[in-house]
Amino acid sequence: MSELETLRAAIRDELDGLWNDLDTARRGALNGQWSMQCDFLVDRIKNLTALVGPTPWHSIELPLLEDGIYQRVHTELGMDAPVDMEHVARTRERIDADRQRGARSTH
């Protein structure tokens, strides 16, 4: 792997972590939606995304896709980053069904 490829891989790895951190920061925000920490993370995501392009949507936490945050970040950067929202909806349905089955089995 060349030095450039190694650097790009490191940036992509950092982006994966930042998207995960953004999801965690949103869940921990006082209002449960957004905080200054979220703004800070989005700025870092934008800076790195400008260097290597969008993180694949299937690597992003579901709530960030469902709430359009992933899409908004890329729109603000002027980048095309389409998301298969039908796949996202089916995934959410499976998760919710699994939770319901789990809740019924514990009662």
| pLDDT tens profile 11-65 | 999 999 999 999 999 999 988 889 999 999 999 999 999 999 999 999 999 999 9
| pLDDT tens profile 53-100 | 999 999 999 999 999 999 999 999 999 999 999 999 999 999 999 888
Question: Which band of pLDDT confidence, cut at 50, 70 and 90, is reported for residue 107?
Answer: low
Overall domain count for the chain: 1
Convert 90-103 to b/e letters by CB count within 10 Å (16 or more is b): eeeeeeeeeeeeee
Reduced DSSP (H G I as helix, E B as strand, rest coil) percent helix, strand, coil of the chain, to 5: 75, 0, 25
Q: Could you list the residue range(s) of the whole structural domain that residue 7 is in?
A: 3-105
